[in-house]
Structure 1
């Protein structure tokens, strides 16, 4: 009574359009999972909460990263994820030559005149607005303690 005759042209046209739409949805689905921001934030927290100065690395499965003093964002083709740090604030060290050198292993005294200068540079870096940056390697975290200045650098 309510059946559509199979030989009707509009039934075949509707089925064809539905198939094309379903194919289009299938093609646009992501092929990989969103990046794991919580895992990267855990690495930062372990370094920031350590009792002694420490350096840690975490491989990133994202194309872009945004590091803020209290949280981290990662994004790739599958989506964007964020995670909040339990220990903080941390200092984003990207594009800050002195802080980047210390993050990569240089002694703080080789880049800064005093511990106060290191703390001031870290404070300035934390006050700048965070931007999305291309990922060019693993996430590097270094906790530095120098004459009363205790900072956690991340890039």
Structure 2
């Protein structure tokens, strides 16, 4: 009536092994969802296709971002997401572009429309790699002296 079966030990060892494997899979899953680069890119595209003077803000849920004017990459613990813009934009990498992004008129920040054009072209051509992502992304469409750009930062 109280006999010990040889199969019982193997059953418990197998069950323990499967439990450890399942625990390993669960612990390895990411704790957060990957960032939404597509929605962020759509916000930039919306301002880019709007008239000059348009401004938008978007909350960014990412730890790092990379933006070269055409491609937007967002990354966090959940993974990396990439989106491509319809039209090119300019990242606000210089202090003067950041001032224009924050609402200053280009005329108050730059000596001439040519200086504004040069700064936007140089900034658009560069890529400084992964940077800490802002909590809130600001996008502003600016036109001055023949230069019509969307600044992102």
TM-score where L is the length of structure 2: 0.90
Superposed displacement of residue 5, structure 1? 5.3
Confirm or deny that 1:91 pairs with 2:99.
no
- Identify the residue that residue 126 of structure 1 maps to in structure 2: 124
- The SS at the match of 1:7 is helix
Q: Unmatched 5+ residue regions in structure 1?
A: none
**1:148 — aligned with what?**
146
Which ranges of structure 2 fall in alignment gaps of 5 or more residues? none
What CA RMSD, in Å, does the superposition of the two structures yield over aligned residues?
Answer: 1.6
- Which residue matches 1:78? 78
Which residue does the alignment assign to 2:37?
Answer: 37
Where 1:113 maps in the other structure, the secondary structure is coil
What does residue range 28-67 of structure 1 map to in structure 2 within 5 Å?
28-67=28-67
Deviations 1:39-83 (A, max 9, x none): 000000010111232111110111111111111111111110011
**8 Å Cα contact 1:119/1:151 also seen in 2:** no
CA separation in 2, counterparts of 1:50 and 1:69? Answer: 17
Aligned length: 149
Q: Does residue 7 of structure 1 match 2:8?
A: yes
**Runs of 4+ residues over 6 Å off in structure 1:** none
- Give the Cα separation in 2 of the matches to 1:144 and 1:52: 5
Q: TM-score, structure 1 length as denominator?
A: 0.89
Shift of 1:7: 1.4
